[in-house]
């Protein structure tokens, strides 16, 4: 007997459905495995913070990428540092280098000789121009002296200073030597300093400073006029200027000549005399002092001729106090002739200046 085949209707229908799917659903439907993978990928995309851009926060790269960037930057920095450390060398221009390379040794030597000759010619030309300018300045009448001016003189006249200078009108201004002019003018003892200036094209200016007469020294019936530095300015027959006379000097008479100076001892004492006169000037006594005897520097003697009084001043200390005493005795003993004694230690209260009337 033949075996009867049994057919399972449920499984048959299931197979038919799988083998003959509907056209509209075949395109849209996918296998379940694919749907699961896609859902997983969308979830990863939504929550992948490494790839997400968040406003207000900087993107933090993974550690591996940062290390790779550092390693890639380091060789660039080393190249830059090497380039910065290496000094820039002036590379010769390609044209010049080619020309030099193309020249033979003989041509290079000839070129150097030409350059040397050109330098010599240039300097010789410049020298000739300078020499020509000097010759023109010395020979041209444009630079002849037409005006001589003198400034700063009071005692010595302008004509005398010009005469001492040796300058002549219509003389070339560049031939006038300043040292000769200065030495000639200084032959006058009243002249202290001289400055000569050329004012091109035709003027010479002479600026002088004069010494001032301060005292007189009488010897052999004449008077030697001296300044405050002890220079003898002139020898005069009288003392018309009314200068204070200094007596008791140690300088020999034969040395009292024009432009000479007092010896060292008298110069030291002259410094004390200047301090005495300064203190007297502060108390309006300068015009009253007619003579100062400097024989003893520990006891200077002043003569007040108009007041008929002689002051034994002592040394040059406490001059302000001593001048006050002189003023007091001049007022108190105005009409009396006598001596004012101040040559004592005024710092000691026991010592007191006094007036001794002449009998």
The CATH number of 215-357, from 3.40.50.11690, 1.10.10.10, 3.30.10.20, 3.40.50.2000, is 3.40.50.11690
* Sequential pLDDT tens for the chain (359 residues): 344 444 444 454 444 445 444 444 444 444 444 444 444 444 444 555 555 555 555 555 555 555 554 444 444 444 444 444 555 555 555 555 555 567 888 888 888 888 999 999 999 999 989 988 888 777 788 889 999 999 999 999 999 999 999 999 999 998 999 999 999 999 999 999 999 999 989 999 999 999 999 999 999 899 999 999 999 999 999 998 899 999 999 999 999 999 999 999 999 999 999 999 999 999 999 999 999 999 999 999 999 999 999 999 999 999 999 999 999 999 999 989 999 999 999 888 889 999 999 98
Do residues 279 and 323 touch, judged by C-beta distance below 8 A? yes
* Helical ranges in the chain per DSSP H: 9-19, 23-28, 32-46, 63-85, 94-102, 105-139, 158-165, 178-185, 264-282, 319-332
Rounded CA-CA distance 212/293 in Å is: 21
C-alpha of 178 from chain center: 28
Starting at the edge strand that comes first in sequence, how are the strands of the sheet with 147-151 ordered? Answer: 147-151, 203-210, 191-199
Q: Report the helix count and the strand count for the chain, using DSSP H and E.
A: 10, 12
Tokens of 171: 């003389």
Q: State residue 152's pLDDT score.
A: 96
- In CATH terms, are 144-210 and 215-357 the same topology? no
Do residues 339 and 358 touch, judged by C-beta distance below 8 A? yes
Q: How far is CA 312 from CA 205, 285, 294, 304, 326, in A?
A: 50, 15, 11, 11, 10
Domain over 144-210 is classified CATH 3.10.20.310? yes
Q: State residue 93's pLDDT score.
A: 54
Handedness of CA 49, 51, 53, 59 (dihedral sign): positive
| H or E element, residue 226 | strand 222-226
Q: Where are the domains of the chain?
A: 144-210, 215-357
Rounded CA-CA distance 260/268 in Å is: 16
Tokens of 60: 């933090």
DSSP code, position 57: S
Q: State residue 30's pLDDT score.
A: 45
Q: State residue 133's pLDDT score.
A: 82
DSSP code, position 127: H
Beta bridge partners of 354: 341
| Residue among 196, 202, 203, 197 nearest 141 (CA) | 202
pTM above 0.85, yes or no: no
């Amino acid at each position: 007997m033949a075996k009867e085949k049994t057919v399972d209707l449920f499984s048959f229908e299931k197979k038919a459905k799988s083998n003959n799917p509907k056209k509209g659903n075949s395109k849209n439907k996918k296998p379940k495995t694919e749907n699961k993978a896609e859902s997983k990928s969308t979830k990863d995309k939504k929550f992948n913070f490494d790839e997400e851009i968040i406003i207000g926060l900087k993107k933090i790269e993974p550690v591996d990428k940062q290390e790779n960037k550092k390693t890639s930057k380091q060789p660039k920095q080393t190249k830059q540092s090497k380039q910065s450390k290496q000094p820039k060398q002036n590379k010769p221009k390609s044209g010049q280098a080619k020309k030099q390379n193309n020249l033979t040794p003989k041509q290079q030597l000839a070129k150097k000789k030409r350059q040397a000759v050109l330098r010599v010619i240039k300097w010789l030309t410049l020298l000739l121009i300078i020499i020509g300018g000097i010759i023109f300045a010395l020979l041209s009448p444009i630079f002849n002296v037409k005006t001589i001016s003198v400034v700063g003189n009071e005692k010595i006249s302008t004509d005398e200073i010009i005469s001492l200078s040796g300058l002549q009108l219509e003389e070339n201004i560049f031939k006038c030597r300043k040292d000769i002019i200065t030495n000639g003018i200084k032959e006058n003892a009243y002249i202290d300093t001289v400055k000569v200036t050329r004012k091109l094209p035709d003027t010479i200016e002479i600026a002088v400073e004069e010494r001032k007469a301060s005292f007189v020294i009488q010897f052999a019936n004449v008077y030697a006029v001296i300044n405050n530095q002890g220079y003898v300015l002139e020898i005069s027959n009288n003392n018309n200027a009314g200068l204070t006379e200094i007596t008791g000097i140690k300088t020999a008479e034969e040395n009292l000549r024009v432009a000479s100076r007092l010896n060292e001892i008298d110069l030291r004492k002259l410094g004390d005399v200047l301090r005495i006169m300064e203190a007297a000037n502060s108390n309006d006594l300068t015009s009253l002092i007619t003579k100062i005897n400097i024989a003893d520097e520990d006891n200077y003697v002043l003569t007040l001729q108009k007041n008929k009084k002689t002051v034994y001043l002592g040394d040059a200390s406490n001059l302000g106090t001593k001048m006050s005493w002189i003023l007091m005795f001049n007022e108190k003993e105005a009409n009396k002739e006598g001596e004012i004694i101040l040559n004592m230690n005024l710092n000691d209260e026991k010592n007191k200046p006094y007036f001794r009337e002449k009998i």
